[in-house]
Structure 1
Amino acid sequence: MLVAALWVAGMLAYQLPGPGWVRGVLMAVWAGFALTTAVAVGRARVGRWPGAVFLLALVATGVWWLLLTPRQDRVWADDVAQRLKVVSFDGQHVVLDNVRNFTWRTDDDHDARWQRRGYDLDQLRSADLILSYWMGPTIAHTLVSFGFADGRQLVFSLEIRKERGESFSALGGFFRKFEMTLVAAEETDIVRVRSNVRGEDVYIYRLQGMTGEQLKGLFVSYLGEARKLDAAPAFYNTLTSNCTTIVYELAKQIAPGLPLDYRLLASGYFAEYARDLGVLTPGVDFATLKARGRITDRARAAGDDPRFSQLIRQGVPGVDAEVQP
């Protein structure tokens, strides 16, 4: 009953339209009713009507939940205004539309650029796991950056698709509050805005142990996700469809035996999960990987230097090792 009551309260808090005070009043009324009913059930003194009303509220909320549908046509925040599109892909060469390449001065002051880019997947040379800590050591945003032989980097990031003026809520993510989007961006945009503008603490880990075909397979998996989200919107879910679980789901397509782990949810420890799987630089203890992988200070020192991607990787273990075809 407690879980059911909290679920109804969450739907009232995050999905009920209208002024905040109306939601507050309805939540208080529901909380009082649910608590009274739960106590009565515990004492085996619940009457027919309170139980029936409680059950009716659950059914009505379930119908409400099912009727919620994700959309593509809201007034989106600038940084998620465009959908990533796979213009063409012949198995080797891919053309992407709406690759993000913003210049950020503050969160609210930026030059918006969405660009078309072409990539040769035979030139893929590396993949890096990037963790950006914004809420203590337990929670981090997870990104994957692919490196090419010509020195370019392309970062994929699954994010909530915020409406203009909206902000992220981990709790709201349980109640279909947000759609999700896949962003492909330059590191000078998506990494720099986190380290240099938002003040997040950012770490890079070189992924090892993949053949060229496996590396290409992981990239192609992101293309599949882009096509899926371009064709039909989907809800972000804090538990099952977030920035870390998508990396796990995509990686499972090339390594089906990946085990489930609590660190898929406690994303701040995802790098340790990757270490335990043996996909980080071998022969280096994790404390060293983490210390040398912390790029926050190097990113801030690099500023708008065009060599940003090279400068932030100085000293990161394994960055000199290329994936063999």
Structure 2
Amino acid sequence: MRWRWAGVWCGRVAWGMLGLLGAAALYYSTLQPDMLRLGLSVAFPLLMYGTAWVRPVRWGHAFRAALVLGLTGWYVTDPPRNDRIWAQEYAIPADAWQEGNDIHVRHVRNFRYHTPTSYIPAWYDATYRLDGLQSVDLVTSYWAGDAIAHVFLSFGFSDGRHLAISIETRRQARFAYSTIAGFFHHYELFYVTADERDLIGVRTDIRHERVYLYRLNLSPEVREHLFLSYVNAIHDLIGHPQWYNTLTDNCTTGILARAGARLRYRLDWRVILSGHTAAMAYDMDLLGPYDRSRLPDFSALHAASRIIRPPGATLGPDYSRDIRAHLPPPEGPAEP
């Protein structure tokens, strides 16, 4: 009898969890109008609970199973889209494609920020020489503690230009940002492809976050492969939108996917707690190479790699050069 009641309670807990999960999936969905979305998110768990009183009991189980299967069927066929009303910073996606040695990028974002919420929108088109790709930098930005950071890459070219690319949520204008919402079909995937004065500058000069920049120790072939992987991903999203997911397809796991990293690296706890991603890269010999006599461990490198902006600094045309002026230089190019 005791085991029977234990089984009954375990079943009730499981159904209850499914009810709450379904409510969250509906609440954080993109269904319109909002009253429909909110109404369904309330109705689903109530219906799940109500079926507990259906007799005979097997009919209650059948109704609950039908509700769960129906919700699951809707969820897995709910398509991501590109035609929503987006927040302005995500309104215009970049496109990128290769023509021989030239990489063309349309809509490089270059917003001019006055405050974190006040800016002048701007975009430009650019062409980069693939044989001019000289560096890839890992950027980590902290806005609270040390456990979580926003992580992205910046590609440097021989003509002094840099193209920063950040894998982010594409947020609709009607929604505020929510980490929890990112676990569901709430945001589309978006590659912010931007001038460093926008993507890094807003963090160093406007939001005043703690921003660190590290040179990645990559061979020319790996640099090129990584950049082209980003180019192809950006282009694919134009015709084939994808859902963003906080756990499986976020700013950090997206970088590893583009790099073709093995699954065990994507599941490393330092990827989940993205504030430690640079430390993981250091342990894998992917940073630098730096002078170990001056920077004997990651703690020293981390402290030296913070971007420090002097009082009165502006987001001018020399921003990319200025932020690197005091950073520890790599000892030399990565070996093929």
TM-score under structure 1 length normalisation = 0.86
Query: Mapping of 1:158-237 within 5 angstroms?
Result: 158-208=167-217, 210-237=218-245
Q: Is the 8 A contact 2:138 2:213 kept in 1?
A: yes
| Structure 2 unmatched runs, 5+ | 1-13
Task: Classify the secondary structure of the residue corresponding to 2:81.
Answer: coil
> Is residue 310 from structure 1 mapped to residue 324 from structure 2 by the alignment?
no
| Distance change >3 Å, CA 130–CA 57, structure 1 → 2 | same
Offset of 1:166 from its aligned partner? 2.7
| Structure 1 unmatched runs, 5+ | none
Offset of 1:197 from its aligned partner? 2.2
| Distance change >3 Å, CA 320–CA 121, structure 1 → 2 | farther
* Cα distance per residue 1:2-40 (max 9 Å; x no partner): 553332121132125455798389548727955996xx9
Q: Is the 8 A contact 1:302 1:312 kept in 2?
A: no
What letter corresponds to residue 159 of structure 2 in structure 1?
Answer: D
What letter corresponds to residue 76 of structure 1 in structure 2?
Answer: W
Q: 2:274 aligns with which of 251, 263, 267?
A: 267
Q: Is the 8 A contact 1:132 1:200 kept in 2?
A: yes
Task: Classify the secondary structure of the residue corresponding to 1:302.
Answer: coil
Aligned residue number for residue 298 of structure 2? 286
Aligned residue number for residue 111 of structure 1? 120
> Is residue 238 from structure 1 mapped to residue 246 from structure 2 by the alignment?
yes
| Distance change >3 Å, CA 136–CA 20, structure 1 → 2 | farther
Aligned residue number for residue 72 of structure 2? 62
Question: Alignment identity in percent?
Answer: 35
Q: Is the 8 A contact 2:138 2:215 kept in 1?
A: yes
What letter corresponds to residue 182 of structure 1 in structure 2?
Answer: Y
Q: Distance in 2 between matches of 1:108 and 1:257?
A: 37
| Distance change >3 Å, CA 165–CA 323, structure 1 → 2 | farther
Q: How large is the Cα RMSD of the aligned pairs?
A: 2.9
Aligned residue number for residue 277 of structure 1? 284
Task: Classify the secondary structure of the residue corresponding to 1:69.
Answer: coil
| Distance change >3 Å, CA 117–CA 183, structure 1 → 2 | same
Query: Mapping of 1:19-98 within 5 angstroms?
Result: 23=38, 26-27=41-42, 30=45, 34=49, 47-90=57-100, 92-98=101-107
Quick check: which has more Rg, 1 or 2?
Answer: 2
Q: 1:12 aligns with which of 13, 20, 26?
A: 26
- Aligned residue-pair number: 314
Q: Is the 8 A contact 1:145 1:156 kept in 2?
A: yes
Which is worse superposed, 155-164 or 191-200?
A: 191-200
Q: Distance in 1 between matches of 2:34 and 2:154?
A: 41
Which is worse superposed, 297-306 or 167-176?
A: 297-306
Q: Is the 8 A contact 1:99 1:114 kept in 2?
A: yes
Q: Is the 8 A contact 1:124 1:216 kept in 2?
A: yes
Aligned residue number for residue 3 of structure 2? none
